[in-house]
Amino acid sequence: MRHPQRLLLAFLLPLSLGAATPQVRTDQPRVKPDAIVAEEREGFVIVEGEDFFRQTNIEKRAWHITAATHLPSVGRDIDGPHFADASGGAYIEVLPDEGNDGQPLVKGVSISDVPGEMAVASYRVKFNTPGRYFIWSRAFGTDGDDNTLHYGLDDTWPATSARSWTFGGKKWQWANRHRQHKGKIYFDVREAGAHVVSISMREDGCELDQFILTTDEAFTPPAEIAGPGTRAERTVLPFAETKGELVIEAESAPASSGWAFVPELGAGTGRGHLRWTLPGQGKKATDDSILSYAFRITTPGTYQLHLRSQMPDPKNRPDTLDPDGNDIWVRFIGGTDVPGAPALGEKKWAKLAILGHPEGWTWDTHADRGPPHPDAPVCRTFAAPGDYRVEFAGRSHGHAIDRFVLRKVDSPRPRLTPAEERVLDALSVSPRL
């Protein structure tokens, strides 16, 4: 099987849940219209069902996000929620569910054999590799009348990607199978670049957790991939500092709008990294772009933050220490500022930057106060044991982050030697409590 390690771990990373309230409409997107929610690498990409940026044709039925913080109430639903076993603790379902065993199906209402006719949810995905992509759905079938959907690409609806069928069985399971002829479901991506992948309702009550697009016709997902490590757990459980050291992978947080998960091909330290996809330079941090990481300090003291990050084009603006694509916003919830260092508290975002033009991944981490861009280590004092949080928000298009380290220090330094950077690369991720 191709990509076994990447697949097993990537399932647990979603790209776009933000804070939710009971008043949020569960059929509305939580992803910005121009955000890329996933990027294909080596013929493989996985997309979370709830990460759609647009939904149309919802007059009679719609896909509704279901999670601990999003419980739809839009009419009949014959079964309870299943977010506890869904990847990231969330999924989508076509509601209301009125066409199922014991109830007659009504064409154009509870069933649609016309792809693109009803409840069309769309996802913006970047493809680097043109080709034929086979589509695997992780779906939940309560009975034989709520387990099919259609797939489309760029507002077209090929017959080869219609009527995707998942077995019943009242559990989450993977399938790539046409309902009628039992052949494989696929579509052809003819050019590299950003494309819009869409799903549409065939039967109401259909529940979708994730889908995979792969060029490997022989690929088969593992049978069980959810459970421990859901998005809800990742949001609540803090990482544990040990002996003055904390190591966290960027992709361990539920990504917010504008962040794309990129599976690793060997250059990173974990299962992938996150890349900021929105254009331009963000003048301020926005709530829907925040990546949040909780941690517990047991060894009080002053800690230095080291971020492993990368610019999209290190050769741009060679005449300045502050090239495009080199920075991100950062702040701490809890702790105190270090005298003489930039403010990093809850109400004050600081610009964290790579200064200069290093190629590839770098641990070069500065609190950038502007010209003349002096070296400025990023530090925070945690005077007592307790739970704290560090948050990042997108700023520069193309900026990528892989992992970060918080280390108790006496004499902070923003620049590390190559040998010191290799040590940080090799550190094991901190455990969760």
Summarize pLDDT for 242-263 with one digit per residue, the tens: 999 999 999 887 656 678 777 6
Per-residue pLDDT, 87: 77
Residue 399 CA to residue 149 CA, distance in Å, equals 36
> Which residues, 6 or more positions from 118, have their beta carbon under 8 angstroms from its beta carbon?
57, 60, 61, 108, 112, 200, 201
**Rg, Å, the chain Cα set:** 23
Residue 417 CA to residue 60 CA, distance in Å, equals 61
DSSP 260: E
Name the residue among 388, 298, 293 with its Cα closest to residue 336: 388
Residue 152 CA to residue 199 CA, distance in Å, equals 6
Q: Contact 141/170 with Cβ under 8 angstroms?
A: yes
Superfamily holding 4-214: Galactose-binding domain-like (2.60.120.260)
Rank 60-64, 182-186, 256-260, 354-358 by mean pLDDT and report only the highest.
Answer: 60-64
Whether 281 shows a pLDDT value over 80: the answer reads no
Residue 262 CA to residue 275 CA, distance in Å, equals 7
**47-57 pLDDT per residue, tens:** 989 989 999 99
Q: Contact 181/146 with Cβ under 8 angstroms?
A: no
CATH fold of the domain at 237-426: Jelly Rolls (2.60.120)
Q: Report if pTM > 0.85.
A: no
* Average pLDDT estimate for 425-430: 90
Per-residue pLDDT, 412: 85
Give 37's pLDDT tier (boundaries 50, 70, 90).
confident
> Which residues, 6 or more positions from 395, have their beta carbon under 8 angstroms from its beta carbon?
276, 281, 282, 285, 327, 328, 329, 351
Per-residue pLDDT, 247: 96
Residue 367 CA to residue 369 CA, distance in Å, equals 6
Rounded to the nearest integer, the mean pLDDT of the chain is 81
Say what percent of the chain tops pLDDT 70: 80
Rank 41-45, 83-87, 198-202 by mean pLDDT and report only the highest.
Answer: 198-202
| Residue where the block lists tokens 């016309």 | 114
Give 201's pLDDT tier (boundaries 50, 70, 90).
very high
Whether 226 shows a pLDDT value over 70: the answer reads no
DSSP assignments along 214-242, one per residue = ES-TT----S---STT-HHHHHHSPEE-B
* Average pLDDT estimate for 378-386: 95
Residue 97 CA to residue 100 CA, distance in Å, equals 7
Q: Contact 331/350 with Cβ under 8 angstroms?
A: yes
Query: Could you state, in order of their start, the residue ranges of all structural domains in the chain?
Result: 4-214, 237-426
Per-residue pLDDT, 323: 67
Name the residue among 203, 173, 175, 187 with its Cα closest to residue 97: 203
Give 236's pLDDT tier (boundaries 50, 70, 90).
very low
Whether 274 shows a pLDDT value over 80: the answer reads yes
Give 385's pLDDT tier (boundaries 50, 70, 90).
very high
Query: Who wins on pLDDT, 192 or 231?
Result: 192
Which amino acid, 185? I
User: Which of 72-86, 174-188, 329-343 is least confident?
Assistant: 72-86
For residue 418, give the H/E element and its range. helix 418-426
**237-426 matches 4-214 in CATH topology:** yes
**127-166 pLDDT per residue, tens:** 999 999 999 999 987 766 677 899 999 999 999 999 998 8
